[in-house]
Structure formats: C-alpha cells, structure tokens
Amino acid sequence: MYEAAKIRRDFPILSREVNGGKLVYLDNAATSQKPRQVIEALTDYYERHNANIHRGVHRLAEEATAAYEGAREKVAAFLGAPETTGLVFTRGTTEAINLVAHAWGRKELREGDEIVLTEAEHHSNLVPWQLAAQATGAKLRFIPIREDGTLDMEEAERLVGPKIKLVGCIHASNVLATVNPVEKLAELAHANGARMLVDGAQSAPHLPVNVEELGCDFFACSGHKMLGPTGVGVLWSKPELLEEMDPFLGGGEMIREVHLDHSTWNDLPYKFEAGTMNIAQAVGLGAAVDYLDALGMDNVREHERKLGEYAYRRLSELGDITIYGPAEDRTGIVSFSLPDVHPHDLSQLLDEEGIAIRSGHHCTQPLMRRLGTVATARASFYLYNTEEEVDTLVEALVKAREFFGAFAK
Ligand code: PLP
C-alpha cells in the first residue's frame, strides 16, 4: 500500500517550519527533497570510502570505484538501458544535452540540415541546439502546441522530412503537465533517417521509463529532480552512436594514450567522463534509484496522477483562474495564474505561510510567449505530497485573492 504519510517520515526537511507554518513544498519540478537514505549514502561514502576512482589500486580507490560503477548499473537498470556502456554520468540534463549538441551535433550537422524541437522545450533543450545550428548552418524547426497544451502531431508529421537530422522533445513538460508521445516522434524521426533525443528531466523522476521502449537515441535526466543530489545526471545513448561521436570534454580519464600532438580515447562510457567526476553524487543517485525502485515507479506515477487531478479540480473550483495545459492525462504539475496578481507577488505571499511554489517563466520563455504571458505560478508535486497540502494551497490562494483584491481597490 502506498502511504505518503509513511514516505514523508524519510524526508527530514519535510518536518521543518517556514515562517511559523509547516513547510508545504510544492516546487518539486525545480528540485526534489532528499530522503534520509540518500543523505546517509553520501555521508557513508565520505566517512568510509572516499577516494578518486578508476586510478588507484588501494582499498579505498577500489571501494569508491565499485560504489560509482554500482550506481551506474542501478541507473541503467532504472532507465531500462540494455547495458551500462551507454550510460554516461553528467552534471545533469543540461550538460547531457550540451554533450549531444557538441559531440554529435557539431560532427553530424551540415548547412541546410534541420533540427525539429517543440515550442514547449525547456531552454536546456533549445539553446544548445541554437548554438549547434549557428556553428553548422543547420536550421531549427518547431512543432507547435495546440490550445490545450498538447503537441500538434499532424504538424509534426508535416515537419519531419528528409532534411531532418534530429528530433528533440521533452518527455514531460515542466509547465503544461503533458506527457508527450515521444515514441511516435521517435518512429517519425527514424523513418526519415533522423535521431531522436528525449529530455527526460520531468519524466524519469515521475513515470516508469524504458529507453528501449521509447525508441530514442539519446535520453537525458537529472539526479536532483529524482531524490538524488545536485551535480549528477545522465545521458543514455546507444553505444554504437557514442562510439562514432567525438569527445565532448578533454582531460584525464577520457583518454587511452596521450602524445604531445594527439591522443586516443578511452572505452565507453569513460570517453565522455573527463576529469574527476561527481563521485559521491553518483553514489547518492544510486541510493535515490534504490528508493524509487522500492516504491515502484507505477505507484509513484499513480499517486502523482491522482494528486495532479485533485489539484487541477480544486484549483478550477476557484473560478477566475487560468490553468495551463490539458484537463486530463496530466503529471503532478499545475501551472496557473490569478487575474491581476503577478506570480512573484503570489509566491511571496504564500511563502509567508510556508508554502513553496515557483513563479516565473520556468526556463521556457518561448512557451510563455505562446501562452500569451510572461510568467505563471506553478505548484509541482512529488511522491511525498498529499491532498491535505493541495487543500492548504487552495485555502492560501483564496486568502491571497482577497488580499490582492482589496489591494487593487
Ligand atoms: N528539461 C526540463 C524539462 C526541465 O524541467 C529542466 C529543469 O528544470 C531541465 C531540462 C534542466 O535540468 P538541469 O537544470 O537539472 O540540468
């Protein structure tokens, strides 16, 4: 039985107070909180095993290497990756996508080639491709968003043609709460000889993910959004693709032989892990994946689906509120705005009661323009949030509306 109340006891931060109120943490799309198990894995690593990896032959170096490589195995299994050689540790989603845009993009893209993205991309899956396009002469094309926030797949079929070299898409939106049909986009990309990149920053923490079933060529996600520490994430790709790519960063560990005028590259995935990696963080991510596996990602998804629907319904009852994204098939994110209230002011007012929501453009400025706004408020839920917390949010919004209404008069 899934019991959020029991799960909450694993998260020390959830019992703290903020401004005299009980913390209601609803900014999980930005970063998640960490369970004791992850915090203890970090402490244990530093207290007992800390050493640099792959280099030393002493006991600690061997233990640290085993812990780091063990984490790689756990994350690969969590994402349904068929082997660990395609699983590269990065600093997070942003770095993983930059890796692809450099190591694959700069090598494979030519003048006149096209890259297809969507209007709802996070800047992390947009700016690296703008830079790659500037460097290579490739062009960017965008799949539009329909009024309800879902992707216009008819337009996608029209856009994806023989000039396309890459289709890149968020698996789940950090604003609209949509889950995009990335499997269909992958089929479309492959039918046209293009590669498919999935930005899984908002899916890997919340839905069961299997990179083979998605049919993608590149999958990126961030550890800190899925109970893990900051500073670690992954890029998964097919080993044969990674093999063909040039290195991204040069330095120690990613080489096999270095001469004064040239070098050769290490085996996968080390070819893409230059310098000392975020070892403790990777170990912490391994513990986070253990935690998620123990809960079961189907259960996590179901809990958040219900919570997202409950929040959507309760917020809709407020009447004069705009909620972005589709009414159904949502993840646990609700982006909204109240008339005549700036999201920043709202967020600040809620903070006075210990409620943490996000306000701003959520690193999706083109999407904000498409939605006809510059910023929204956003409540984003995770596996430890409860219906009571949604109720607390709604009560605070009612009060905030009265406050700002009186202020406007
Ligand atoms: N992609 C999406 C959809 C996101 O929501 C985020 C973070 O908010 C990112 C990419 C970037 O993740 P990171 O900052 O961990 O690299």
Check whether residue 331 and residue 240 sit in a common domain. no
Please report whether residue 10 resides in a domain: yes
* Residue for token pair 């049919």: 215
Check whether residue 139 and residue 188 sit in a common domain. yes
**Which residue lies with its CA nearest to atom 12 of ligand 1?**
93
**Which residue lies with its CA nearest to atom 14 of ligand 1?**
94
Q: What spacing in Å lies between the alpha carbon of 115 and ligand 1's midpoint? A: 20
Of 274, 293, 312, the last residue of a domain is 293
Check whether residue 217 and residue 91 sit in a common domain. yes
pLDDT score, position 405? 79
Check whether residue 270 and residue 301 sit in a common domain. no
Give the integer Cα–Cα distance in Å for 80 and 36: 26
CATH number of 257's domain: 3.40.640.10
Please report whether residue 315 resides in a domain: yes
Q: What spacing in Å lies between the alpha carbon of 30 and ligand 1's midpoint? A: 8
pLDDT tens track, the chain, 409 positions: 899 999 999 999 999 999 998 999 999 999 999 999 999 999 999 999 999 999 889 999 999 999 999 999 999 999 999 999 999 999 999 999 999 999 999 999 999 999 999 999 999 999 999 999 999 999 999 999 999 999 999 999 999 999 999 999 999 999 999 999 999 999 999 999 999 999 999 999 999 999 999 999 999 999 999 999 999 999 999 999 999 999 999 999 999 999 999 999 999 999 999 999 999 999 999 999 999 999 999 999 999 999 999 999 999 999 999 999 999 999 999 999 999 899 999 999 999 999 999 999 999 999 999 999 999 999 999 999 999 999 999 999 999 998 987 655 5
Yes or no: say if 39 and 31 are a contact pair by the CB < 8 Å rule: no
- Contacts of 265-270 with CB under 8 Å at 24 or more apart are 267/85, 268/85, 268/86, 268/88, 268/239, 268/242, 268/243, 269/72, 269/84, 269/85, 269/86, 269/87, 269/88, 269/89, 269/242, 270/54
216 is catalytic: no
Cα–Cα–Cα angle for 234, 236, 237, nearest 5°?
150
Q: Tell me, what DSSP letter sits at residue 151?
A: B
Kindly name the residue from 169, 216, 221, 363 that is annotated as catalytic. Answer: 363
Atom in ligand 1 nearest the alpha carbon of residue 173: 3
Check whether residue 113 and residue 210 sit in a common domain. yes
CATH number of 395's domain: 3.90.1150.10
Of 278, 293, 308, the last residue of a domain is 293
Give the integer Cα–Cα distance in Å for 211 and 227: 20
Selection from 299, 229, 239 nearest residue 272 by Cα: 239
Report how many domains make up the chain: 2
Please report whether residue 341 resides in a domain: yes
Does the pTM of the predicted model rise above 0.95? Answer: yes
* DSSP result, 170-186: ESB-TTT--B--HHHHH
**Phi and psi angles of residue 377, each rounded to the nearest 5 degrees, phi first:** -90, 150
- Report the residue among 94, 126, 203 best suited for mutation to probe ligand 1: largest number of ligand atoms under 8 A from its CB: 94
Check whether residue 47 and residue 146 sit in a common domain. yes
Check whether residue 272 and residue 309 sit in a common domain. no
Q: What separation, in Å, do the N-terminal and C-terminal C-alpha atoms of the chain show?
A: 50
Yes or no: say if 262 and 273 are a contact pair by the CB < 8 Å rule: no
Give the integer Cα–Cα distance in Å for 210 and 208: 7
* DSSP result, 48-74: II---SSS--SHHHHHHHHHHHHHHHH
Please report whether residue 227 resides in a domain: yes
pLDDT score, position 55? 82
* DSSP result, 187-234: HHHHHTT-EEEEE-TTTTTTS---HHHHT-SEEEEEGGGTTS-TT-EE
Check whether residue 17 and residue 100 sit in a common domain. no
Please report whether residue 33 resides in a domain: no
Check whether residue 101 and residue 240 sit in a common domain. yes
Please report whether residue 32 resides in a domain: no
Please report whether residue 340 resides in a domain: yes
Check whether residue 102 and residue 190 sit in a common domain. yes
Q: What spacing in Å lies between the alpha carbon of 196 and ligand 1's midpoint? A: 18
Of 263, 293, 323, the last residue of a domain is 293
Atom in ligand 1 nearest the alpha carbon of residue 170: 3
Give the integer Cα–Cα distance in Å for 324 and 46: 44
Pocket of ligand 1 (CB under 6 A): 29, 92-94, 122, 124-125, 170, 174, 199, 201-202, 222, 363
Question: Which range marks the domain in which residue 167 is found?
Answer: 39-293
- Report the residue among 170, 174, 333 best suited for mutation to probe ligand 1: largest number of ligand atoms under 8 A from its CB: 174
Yes or no: say if 144 and 152 are a contact pair by the CB < 8 Å rule: yes
Yes or no: say if 125 and 263 are a contact pair by the CB < 8 Å rule: no
Check whether residue 20 and residue 89 sit in a common domain. no
pLDDT score, position 406? 60
Check whether residue 144 and residue 238 sit in a common domain. yes
**Phi and psi angles of residue 59, each rounded to the nearest 5 degrees, phi first:** -55, -50
pLDDT score, position 408? 57
Q: What spacing in Å lies between the alpha carbon of 93 and ligand 1's midpoint? A: 6
Please report whether residue 313 resides in a domain: yes
- Report the residue among 31, 90, 93 best suited for mutation to probe ligand 1: largest number of ligand atoms under 8 A from its CB: 93
